[in-house]
Chain A
Amino acid sequence: MNKNTYITVAMVLTVFMASCACIYIRMPLLCILTLVMMFVIVGFSPLCHMRETLWTFVLTVIITLPPNLYVSWFVANRAYVHYDYPTWAALFLALVIYSVLISIEEILCGTISRIIWRKQYRVKFY
Chain B
Amino acid sequence: MRYPVKCNWISYKPLPDGDEYVVHNYLLEEEYIMPGDDIRFIEQLDGKTDPMEIIDTMSRRQMKIYLMYLEHFDLIRTSRFVIAEFPTYIWTAWVIRDNARFRSICEDINTLLMLSVIPVAMLSIVMLILNGSIESALDSTSLWVVMVGFAFGVVSGLILHELGHAISCTAYSGIVMEFGLVFSGYFGAYTMIDTVSVKNRIQRIQINLAGIEVNILLASIYVIMFYLCSGLRFANSYFWVQAAIANLSMALVNVLMVDGFDGMDAIKEILGLDDLMRSSAKALYNKKRRSHLLESEAGTVKVMAVVFIELSRFIYPLIIVLSVILIWT
Binding site for B on A (CB under 8 A): 1, 5, 47, 51, 53-55, 57-58, 61, 89, 92, 95-96, 99-100, 103-104, 106-107, 110-111, 113-115, 120, 122-123, 125-126
Contacts and interface: CB of A to CB of B under 8 A. Distances in A.
Contact of B270 (A1, A99, A111, A122): A111
- By secondary structure, the B interface counts as helix
Given A58-B308, A95-B319, A104 B255 contact: yes
Contacts of B209: 107, 111
A54 B326 contact: no
A54 B322 contact: no
B256 interface: yes
Interface string B287-327: 00100010001100110111010001001100100110010
A46 B329 CA distance: 53
B279 A123 contact: yes
Nearest to A104: B255
A99 B323 CA distance: 12
Nearest to A113: B270
B275 to A, nearest CB: 10
Which of A1, A99, A103 has most B Cβ within 10 Å? A103
Contacts of A96: 319, 323
Contacts of A126: 282, 289
B201 interface: yes
Contacts, number: 88
Contact of A53 (B263, B271, B297, B323): B271
A85 to B, nearest CB: 10
19 contacts: A47-B297, A51-B301, A53-B272, A54-B302, A54-B305, A57-B267, A58-B305, A92-B319, A95-B319, A99-B315, A106-B257, A106-B267, A107-B255, A110-B271, A120-B272, A125-B282, A125-B293, A125-B302, A126-B289
Interface of B: 201-202, 205, 209, 252, 255-257, 263, 266-267, 270-273, 279, 282-283, 289, 293, 297-298, 301-302, 304-306, 308, 312, 315-316, 319, 322-323, 326
B291 to A, nearest CB: 13
Contacts of A54: 271, 298, 301-302, 305
A55 B301 contact: yes
Nearest to B329: A89
A99 B326 CA distance: 17
A94 B72 CA distance: 49
B301 A100 contact: no
A8 to B, nearest CB: 8
Given A54-B305, A92-B322, A106-B257, 4 more contacts: A103-B312, A107-B255, A123-B302, A123-B305
